[in-house]
Structure 1
């Protein structure tokens, strides 16, 4: 009976947490690109990850000048920090990116300083 399977999928979609559904979608996109999963990477690793920018913040104070972005690949959050920059065109919340760099830790959180990045269009 094909309608039973359809109703089951529809019910799951209507009742699941939107954050979980979003994370699952991003994780599938990341896996399709062949990128590494943030949850499987450790400090010191040279990584290439694909995901989405969740939040972007600029700090103009001289000691902390730079751009910070929260990157999420469906498995874990990594902070991206570009030092000495006031603004980076295209680095904005909701944007899909592929980032490369060496993974570090700061206060127990994963960080990549001055990562190389590739911006992806909204429809990709």
Structure 2
């Protein structure tokens, strides 16, 4: 059997026996690396990072006098919370959307956070 044939069968068996969430996580992780981003699981506090993933949830938090928009970005390895101060909504930032975000990783209650990140909406291929 050729190497390509073995790879095909291995992928076919894996796609038939793996959980959909696991396959989606693997796809996101591969897309993240192909897009030149870092794995969220490897990002550390204080590090300048570029992450690419799918928005899982978006929420508006009216904290004190400064509202914030928060989105959870998942790249297949870990989640990063994106926080924009003074925003109630940003066009295109919605669940299911794939985006690339850049900024300095911070830690908030043990979770990775990017405050006011630069971002690019990605086309789904």
TM-score of the aligned structures, taking structure 2 as reference length: 0.86
Instruction: Output the aligned Cα RMSD.
Output: 2.0
Deviations 1:22-45 (A, max 9, x none): 010001111111211111111000
Deviations 1:38-82 (A, max 9, x none): 111110001111111111112245456111101011111001111
1:34 aligns with 2:56: no
TM-score of the aligned structures, taking structure 1 as reference length: 0.87
Shift of 1:83: 1.1
Runs (4+) of structure 1 moved beyond 6 Å? none
What residue in structure 1 maps to residue 19 of structure 2?
17
Aligned counterpart in structure 2 of residue 94 of structure 1, from 93, 96, 103:
96
Aligned counterpart in structure 2 of residue 54 of structure 1, from 45, 53, 56:
56
Unaligned runs of 5+ in 1: none
How far apart in 2 are the matches of 1:84 and 1:34?
29
